[in-house]
Chains A and B, each alone.
Chain A
Amino acid sequence: MSIGSVPLRFKVEIDPERCMKCGRCVENCSYGVFRKESDNIVVANSRACVACHRCLAFCPRDAIDIYEKPTDYRTHPVWTREVREAVFNQAKTGRIIVAGMGNVLPYPSIFDRLVLDACQVTNPSIDPLREPMELRTYIGKKPAALSVKEKPNGDAELLTKLAPNLKLETPIMIGHMSYGAISLNAQTALAKAVTKMGTFLGTGEGGLHESLYPYQDHMIVQVASGRFGVDINYLERGAAIEIKIGQGAKPGIGGHLPGEKVCADVSCTRMIPEGSDAISPAPHHDIYSIEDLKQLVHSLKEATEWKKPVFVKIAAVHNSAAIAAGIARSGADAVVIDGFRGGTGAAPRVFRDHVGIPVEAAVASVDAKLRKQGVRNEVSIIASGGIRQSADIAKIICLGADAVYIGTSALVAMGCRVCGTCNRGTCAWGIATQRPELTKRLDPETNAVQVANLIHAWTDEIAELMGAAGINSIESLRGNRDRLRGYMLDEGLLNVLDVKTVGA
Chain B
Amino acid sequence: MCGIIGVIDKRRQLMDGSKIRESLALMDERGSGEGAGYAAYGIYPEFADAYALHVFFDNVRENKPALVQELEKWGRIVHDEPIPIYEAGIKKVHTPWRFFFKPDVTKAQESHTSADDIVMRLVMNTNSARKGSLIFSSGKNMGVFKASGWPEEVANLYRIQDYKGYLWLAHNRYPTNTSGWWGGAHPFNLLDWSVVHNGEITSYGTNRRYIESYGYDCTMYTDTEVVAYLVDLLVRKHGLSEKLAVKALAPPFWDEIDAMPAKEQELNRALRLTYGPALMNGPFAICVATADTLIGFTDRIKLRPLVTGEHNDRLYISSEEAAIRRIEPEIEDVRMPKAGEPVIGRVIA
Interface residues of chain A, those whose CB is within 8 Å of chain B, are 119, 122-124, 126, 131-132, 134, 136, 138, 142-148, 150, 156, 158, 160, 162, 165, 367, 371-372, 374, 376-377, 398, 469-473, 475-483
Q: Given A146-B274, A148-B244: A119 and B202 within 8 A (CB)? A: yes
Q: A215 CB to closest chain B CB, in angstroms?
A: 23
Q: List 16 A-B contacts (CB under 8 A).
A: A132-B253, A132-B301, A134-B254, A144-B274, A162-B273, A371-B210, A377-B274, A471-B282, A475-B272, A475-B276, A476-B203, A476-B280, A479-B205, A480-B204, A480-B206, A481-B209
Whether B202 contacts A123 by the Cβ 8 Å rule is yes
Contact (Cβ within 8 A) B206 A124 = no
- In the assembled complex, how far is the CB of residue B110 from the closest CB belonging to chain A, in whole angstroms? 15
Give Cα A86–Cα B286 distance, bound, in whole angstroms. Answer: 64
Most buried by B among A142, A475, A479: A475
Report the contact-size class of chain B (Cβ under 8 Å from the partner). 35 or more
A155 (CB) vs chain B CBs: closest residue:
B263
Tell me the bound Cα distance from A482 to B203 in angstroms: 8
- Chain B residues whose CB sits within 8 angstroms of the CB of A478 once the complex forms: 206, 276-277
Assess the A147–B206 pair: CB atoms within 8 A: no
CA distance A147 to B267 in the complex (A): 10
Question: Given the known A-B contacts A132-B255, A471-B282, A473-B281, are A482 and B204 also in contact in the complex, defined by CB atoms under 8 Å?
Answer: yes
Query: Do residues B253 and A134 form an inter-chain contact, with CB atoms below 8 A?
Result: yes
Chain B contact residues, CB within 8 Å of chain A: 176-177, 199-200, 202-210, 212-214, 237-241, 244, 253-255, 266-267, 269-277, 279-283, 300-301, 303
Q: How far is A378 from B271 in the complex, measured between Cα atoms in Å?
A: 14
Other A-B contacts than A472-B301, A478-B206, 12 sampled, CB-CB below 8 A, are A122-B176, A131-B301, A148-B240, A148-B244, A156-B244, A371-B210, A371-B213, A471-B203, A473-B276, A478-B277, A480-B205, A482-B204
Q: How far is the CB of B174 from chain A (nearest CB, A)?
A: 9
Q: How far is the CA of A136 from the CA of B276 in the complex (A)?
A: 11
Q: Are A483 and B205 in contact (CB under 8 A)?
A: yes
B275/A146 in contact, CB under 8 A: yes
CB of B259 to closest CB in A, whole Å: 13
Complex interface: chain A residues within 8 A of B274 (CB):
142-146, 160, 377
Partner of A472, one of B206, B208, B271, B281: B281
Partner of B241, one of A142, A150, A165: A150
| A470 and B283 contacting across the interface, CB-CB below 8 Å | yes
Contact A146 B281 (CB under 8 A): no
A146 and B271 within 8 A (CB): yes
CA distance A194 to B212 in the complex (A): 36
Q: How far is the CB of A155 from chain B (nearest CB, A)?
A: 9
Whether B239 and A147, one on each chain, are in contact in the complex, defined by CB atoms closer than 8 angstroms, is yes
A136 to B273, CA, bound (A): 11
B247 to chain A, nearest CB (A): 10
